[in-house]
Chains A and B, each alone.
Chain A
Amino acid sequence: MRVINRNTSRENASRAGNCRMLQQRLQAVDFAIVETTLYLDVYPDCKKALEYHKRLLKERKMVAEALHGSCGPTTAWEEQNDGWEWVKGPWPWEPDAN
């Protein structure tokens, strides 16, 4: 994910803050999906868990689309809108990416 630097520094700071918030929302829903996955691996017939998983995927789609639209792709498997976007900008282990 990277911040596209075409605007004033205030606009950049506000966009960076927005991207951080969207990424945190995606981290939260992805974590819930991982947790549900581990549970379903050993309780594959649990209807409640299966429904929860379905709802989480719906939410993930919304959040991922918002993040991708404003801040760019987080995988090489998504559309790249501004050159080879996904390698640019801070990488996950760098403080600016968190």
Chain B
Amino acid sequence: MWIYDKKLQYPVKIKNPNPKLAQVIISQLGGPDGELAASMRYLHQRYAMPHDEIKGILTDVGTEELAHLEMVAAILHQLTRNLSEEQIKNSPFATYFVDHTTGLYPVAGSGLPFDMKYVGVKGDVITDLHEDLAAEQKARTTYDNILRLTDDPDVREPIKFLRQRELVHYQRFGDALRIAQDRMDSKNFYAYNPAFDKASGVFRKPK
């Protein structure tokens, strides 16, 4: 279960509203490689995993991604405060504003609403961990792109923190993959799927 701790993992204090910037940063809320996709991916993959270490890392990284979702929301909330009609009218944010005002609705920068199709849960140990390694790099790339689009230090600081966390998660998923492979037949990793098959399961030994 989850307990809520009423503080951000890393502070967000933005002096200057900027709806144009919010329009791209919102991809880390509801986009294909954002924090909502990440948390749903890891928290749902953990149920089929056979090893404690992997259940643990998916649970703990998945939980941390919820904290990151909250940080991205805080950034968006502070970028869209106290806006004048002029600021909204002349920015790409206007098409979001008409449907959501300054409420936070998970969409991608393109306006596409969040979609579970962004998330892979294949129920295979090797497959799911590879999905996770790729997901962390995609998130890192998205943060790189956000950093290319703003000079505001108030925004850059929490974004750099979030980017750094993706790199650490990537390392930990690499460790998890190594653990899984150490417990497989070194002559054939694909002999069976420890998330589903018993050792003598799908690939039955000849009688």
Measured CB to CB, the residues of A under 8 A from B are 1, 23-24, 26-27, 30-31, 34-35, 37-39, 41-44, 73-77, 86, 91-95, 97-98
**Residue of A34, A74, A75, A98 touching B64 (CB-CB under 8 A):** A34
In whole angstroms, how far apart are the Cα atoms of A27 and B12 in the complex? 12
Contact with A along B167-203 (1 / 0, CB 8 A): 0110010011001000000000000000000000000
A37→B78 CA distance, assembly (Å): 30
Nearest opposing residue in chain A for B169, CB measure: A38
Interface string of B67-87 (1 = CB under 8 A from A): 000100110011000000000
Given the interface contacts A41-B172, A92-B74, A93-B12, does A27 sit within 8 Å of B7 by beta carbon?
yes
A92-B70 in contact (CB<8A): yes
Q: How far is the CB of B154 from chain A (nearest CB, A)?
A: 9
Asked if A95 and B53 make an inter-chain contact with CB atoms under 8 angstroms apart, the answer reads: no
Q: Would you give the shortest CB distance from B46 to chain A, in whole angstroms?
A: 11
Contact residue among A1, A37, A41, A75 (Cβ-Cβ distance under 8 Å from B53): A41
**B-side interface residues, number (CB < 8 Å):** 30
Given known contacts A24-B11, A98-B11, what 6 new A-B pairs fall within 8 Å (CB)?
Answer: A38-B60, A44-B52, A74-B5, A75-B6, A91-B6, A92-B6
CB distance from A65 to the nearest CB of B (A): 15
* Interface assignment of B8: CB less than 8 Å from any CB of chain A: yes
CB pairs A–B below 8 angstroms (16 shown) = A24-B11, A26-B7, A27-B8, A31-B10, A37-B60, A41-B60, A44-B52, A74-B5, A75-B3, A75-B4, A76-B4, A91-B6, A92-B6, A92-B74, A93-B12, A95-B13
B residues sitting closer than 8 Å to A (CB atoms) are 3-14, 52-53, 56-57, 60-61, 64, 70, 73-74, 77-78, 168-169, 172, 175-176, 179
* Contact A93 B77, CB 8 Å, known A1-B6, A27-B9, A44-B53: yes
Among residues of B, the one whose C-beta sits closest to the C-beta of A43 is B175
Q: A41-B60, A42-B176 are in contact. Are A86 and B6 (CB under 8 A)?
A: yes
User: What are the residues of chain A within 8 A of B3 when measuring CB–CB?
Assistant: 75, 77
- State whether A38 touches B9 (Cβ < 8 A): no
Q: Are B9 and A31 in contact (CB under 8 A)?
A: yes
Q: Given the complex of chains A and B, what is the CA–CA distance between A76 and B6 in angstroms? A: 9
- Using known A-B contacts A1-B6, A93-B77, determine if residue A38 contacts B57 with beta carbons closer than 8 Å: yes
- Give the distance to chain A from B194, nearest Cβ to Cβ, in Å: 17
Residue in contact with A42 in the complex, picked from B5, B53, B77, CB distance below 8 Å: B53
Docked pose: A70 CA to B12 CA in angstroms: 22
Nearest Cβ on chain A to B74's Cβ, whole angstroms:
4
Q: How distant is the Cα of A73 from the Cα of B169 in the complex, in angstroms?
A: 30
| Beta-carbon contact of B9 and A42 below 8 Å | no
A29 to chain B, nearest CB (A): 12
Q: How distant is the Cα of A80 from the Cα of B117 in the complex, in angstroms?
A: 43
Q: Which of B5, B57, B74, B179 contacts A93 (CB 8 A)?
A: B74
